[in-house]
Structure 1
Amino acid sequence: MAKQTILLVEDDLSVSHIIVTALKADGMAVDSCKTVADRDSLLASGKYDLLITDVGLGEEDGLATLKAVKAHDPDLPIIVISAQNTLNTAVRASETGAFEYFPKPFDLDELMEAVRQAIKPRGEGVADFDAEEDNLPLVGRSPAMQEVYRMIARLLRNDLSVLILGESGTGKELVAEAIHNLGHRKSGPFIAVNMAAIPTELIEAELFGHEKGAFTGAVSSAAGKFEQAQGGTLFLDEIGDMPMHAQTRLLRALQSGEINRVGGRETIKLDLRIVAATNQNIARLIEQGKFREDLYYRINVVPIELPPLRDRASDIPALANHFLNLAATEGLPKKVLTEEGLEMLSRHGWRGNIRELKNLIYRLVVTAREETLSETAIKQILQNPHDDVIDQNGETDFATHVKSMVGKLLINAKDDNRLYIRALEEFERPMLEEVLRRASGNQIRAATMLGINRNTLRKKLTEYAIDPAHSR
């Protein structure tokens, strides 16, 4: 049997030597070169069973012309290695039709196993997509994030269910959005629903929709989140908080690939991808009888575990500068962190993870008078994370006020069973008006202060008939 022949394109002589030695020890024939021109010249012979290429080849981009290589020889498997360890690199590698992508430094045994798998007969190529690094939502080059990028790149051409695990504030929804926006369903809708934020009695109607008269208050028919996500992605956040009765119906929908609205008879075929997320220990919930084991296996086809920020401290400077730039694009003052300030941020524990870091950066931008954010300014905020006043019962003034408000609503509620909705209505309108006043009517700044999307703010203002111009 003839030896498998590999072409290696790598300009780092030490890395090239290690890979060539390992390939030859595994019984393969190897040619190597250092430039794109030499690569194309050698590939013209048509004798190679696999191409292994670095991304950075001196001044050349080893990825830029790989589409042309694939177009010329669609059956040639390609393995990409790179020291440019960003999500964009993993995505671009996937875009070329690469069999596998390895960020440097890589595990040689893993590379060799990928080589053995790659030279087996391959199936069809991959779908094309377009992505620019500046538009990608994930930042960081730590080894933990490189593995996340690799997993995302592997999911872009299929509809496998994904379960994203991680502490609160680690960016689970951002990962779900990346899977959608970079994948083959990017032209469809991305619908996110927080299971912990929906009253238990409304979950099924919220997810599956309802027909007119299906329950008290259903004055008209309405599509649920599943229907709204048709052709795209449905993101079920905090799925660990889903009640058992809704879990049963969700499992049935996933197994059958179809749903019925609450109170309806028409069967609706599903065409979407499911991405779920939780910060809870699902195995423990299963032991406690709070989560269906069969549903867990249905949604956990591909798990992605997001590291807490404390385990990727090397990414903190990049994240902090990313949020500074983001704040500036949203109309907030342009600020710069000192080296000492970045070091202090890198040493902090970040119990709230990326969300806590983003909030701190935005608070610094708004409150600090100086253009340069020093260690002193950061220390003041870290030592005083909030300004709530604690009363003698251990509650904040705000919590006491909310309890008082709820008590008044209960007195006047009678039997309309709308306490949750009425409480939101009572709170949201004055909150929006006050934040707009403090933002001088600037909707971008108000949305930033609220921590919500600008489009969400616009919808709320329309809903409550609030005119931002009155706040200027």
Structure 2
Amino acid sequence: MKPIWIVDDDESIRWVLEKALARENLSTRSFSNARDAIAALEAGTPQVLVSDIRMPGASGLELLQTVKAKYPGLPVIIMTAFSDLDSAVAAFQGGAFEYLAKPFDLEKAIELIRRALEESLREASVPQAMSETPEILGQAPAMQDVFRAIGRLAQSNVTVLITGESGSGKELVARALHKHSPRAAQPFIALNTAAIPKDLLESELFGHERGAFTGAQTSRRGRFEQAEGGTLFLDEIGDMPFDLQTRLLRVLSDGHFYRVGGHQPQKANVRVIAATHQNLEQRVRDGLFREDLYHRLNVIRLRLPSLRERREDIPLLTRYFLAQSAKQLGVEAKRMSEPAMRFLSGLELPGNVRQLENLCNWITVMAPGQTVEVKDLPPDLVSYPVDAIVPAAGLPAVERSVADLAPAPAHPVALPSLPAAEGATCWQILLESEAASLLASERPEVMEVLGRQFESVLIRAALKHTHGRKNDAAVRLGIGRNTITRKIQELGIDGASDD
């Protein structure tokens, strides 16, 4: 980690901060004037810069201006006397992270520097994370259309509206649009408008001045200012409160906005990319979304396909997410068996790519063994009804070798070892998988083992249905009272009563 620079003509201030930061195991470098600090920027940069505002020669504001021109992501804390509050306002307008009023409480000063340090490290990790992120994965024709659209929009600053179901990867596409645009070197700022309370959303977007509302003890830059020169991604734009839609429209129209409680207009040089899973046309008709804002956002529309529309990408995405999850945990990546991959590719997965990624994380942690079978998947998946699984049409050849494991909607599944007329549902696929495992292990009495498990599941389900009344359970199962009593004792089933 790079050192924290302290710039102040007062030697005692430099000494106090140096000693306090050293106790926190943070390295420092001190300068008695701004000119020396500006010259030092040619050879390197700090992690955080702490500067007095009034010094002989160049001021702290000049230093701030130089730093922000070259390194916009570097947090700068401006130190000022109480009489310099006008200068503090100028510092915030110039992009200062925070100001520290003199005389300051040393613990609060260190806490503020720590916050700036965290911000600096977070900012520094963004370019690295983006460079490690591969291009969006997808071989399906629907995704190729998306790739072509990103390519056409690469050199444009036009506003884009991304539509698609939740979890389909709208932010990933927005990042790709930014990454391949002329603004790629500038910030990409994302905000989910549905995740911020209505009372805070205006401040989150446009920032606020000190004292603008209760609790606003300092001025704060909003997302528009943070994204200056770059891209602002507004996710779930359909949930934006109606009154804030008016303010957003004004920014898109004339490129200016006001902080909450502010009187000086701020200029916004920002490309806006919006996204929603909702039908904005319907929300316009319902009076929930401004029609003029809709037309401002809907300059170029990019529709993302759901995972159901690109099932041939599920094996590719699954292997990628399993590898990523294993890398994060420092373990060997799990492998999906052909029946398990076929089963997974046939599921609805309403959460789309996000749900698939979460599932792969679950598999990496919870599934036993390196090769994952259908029975190793989460119980809520393997209990899907038959009509939640779709035909195998459209899957690549490598997956079609087990295509007969996938049922058509509302029809039985044809297993390789079962005649088509007999059919099978999801639990039968699991049963066959378990039977194959037992037979492969050469375990004796496979029929008896599976038979006991089968009877136990049936009786437990019947008892649950009848609230533990075994006589009623026997009637529901079509067996005698003595038979169910004997089976309950043999299988060691608890929770049954004679009532």
TM-score (norm 1): 0.52
Shift of 1:136: 2.5
Q: Are the aligned partners of 2:158 and 2:300 in contact in 1 as well (CA < 8 Å)?
A: yes
Shift of 1:182: 2.2
Aligned partner of 2:312 in structure 1 is: 314
Equivalent of 2:149 in 143, 148, 151: 151
**CA displacement, residues 157-208 of structure 1 (integer Å, 9 cap, x when unaligned):** 1110011100111011111111112222111111111111111111111100
Aligned partner of 1:365 in structure 2 is: 364
Residues 265 and 379 of structure 1: CA distance in aligned 2, closer, same or farther (over 3 Å): closer
1:48-447 mapped onto 2 (5 Å cutoff): 135-333=133-331, 334-378=333-377, 380=379, 382-383=381-382
Residue identity opposite 2:375 in structure 1: T
Shift of 1:343: 0.7
Moved more, 156-165 or 334-343: 334-343
Q: Are the aligned partners of 2:167 and 2:351 in contact in 1 as well (CA < 8 Å)?
A: yes
How far, CA to CA, are the matches of 2:296 and 2:269 in structure 1?
A: 16
How far, CA to CA, are the matches of 2:283 and 2:237 in structure 1?
A: 11
How far, CA to CA, are the matches of 2:140 and 2:132 in structure 1?
A: 18
Residue identity opposite 2:336 in structure 1: L
How far, CA to CA, are the matches of 1:205 and 1:227 in structure 2?
A: 12
Q: Are the aligned partners of 2:155 and 2:180 in contact in 1 as well (CA < 8 Å)?
A: no
Q: Are the aligned partners of 2:232 and 2:270 in contact in 1 as well (CA < 8 Å)?
A: yes
Moved more, 331-340 or 297-306: 331-340
**CA displacement, residues 279-315 of structure 1 (integer Å, 9 cap, x when unaligned):** 1010110011000011011111111101110111011
Alpha-carbon RMSD:
1.9
Using CA pairs under 8 Å that are at least 6 residues apart, name the structure with larger relative contact order, 1 or 2.
Answer: 1
Task: Among all aligned residue pairs of Structure 1 and Structure 2, give the percentage whose two residues are the same amino acid.
Answer: 48
Residue identity opposite 2:224 in structure 1: F
**How many residue pairs are counted as aligned between the two chains?**
255
How far, CA to CA, are the matches of 2:131 and 2:189 in structure 1?
A: 23
Residue identity opposite 1:362 in structure 2: N
Gaps of 5+ in 2: 1-129, 385-499
Q: Are the aligned partners of 1:238 and 1:277 in contact in 2 as well (CA < 8 Å)?
A: yes
**CA displacement, residues 128-160 of structure 1 (integer Å, 9 cap, x when unaligned):** xxxx99742411110100000011111111110
How far, CA to CA, are the matches of 1:289 and 1:135 in structure 2?
A: 40
**CA displacement, residues 348-380 of structure 1 (integer Å, 9 cap, x when unaligned):** 011111111111111011001201111221263
Residue identity opposite 1:309 in structure 2: L
Gaps of 5+ in 1: 1-131, 386-472
Shift of 1:328: 2.0
How far, CA to CA, are the matches of 1:342 and 1:161 in structure 2?
A: 39
Aligned partner of 2:27 in structure 1 is: none
Residue identity opposite 2:216 in structure 1: A
**CA displacement, residues 308-356 of structure 1 (integer Å, 9 cap, x when unaligned):** 1011101100010110111122125321111111111110011111111
**CA displacement, residues 243-292 of structure 1 (integer Å, 9 cap, x when unaligned):** 11100000001100111111112221111110000010101100110000
Runs of 4+ off more than 4 Å: none
TM-score (norm 2): 0.49
Q: Are the aligned partners of 2:229 and 2:269 in contact in 1 as well (CA < 8 Å)?
A: yes
How far, CA to CA, are the matches of 1:162 and 1:375 in structure 2?
A: 41
Shift of 1:231: 1.3
Secondary structure in structure 2 of the residue aligned to 1:250 = helix
Secondary structure in structure 1 of the residue aligned to 2:194 = helix
How far, CA to CA, are the matches of 2:193 and 2:362 in structure 1?
A: 29
How far, CA to CA, are the matches of 2:192 and 2:178 in structure 1?
A: 17
Q: Are the aligned partners of 2:208 and 2:222 in contact in 1 as well (CA < 8 Å)?
A: yes
Q: Are the aligned partners of 1:166 and 1:279 in contact in 2 as well (CA < 8 Å)?
A: yes
Residue identity opposite 2:342 in structure 1: E
Q: Are the aligned partners of 1:213 and 1:220 in contact in 2 as well (CA < 8 Å)?
A: yes
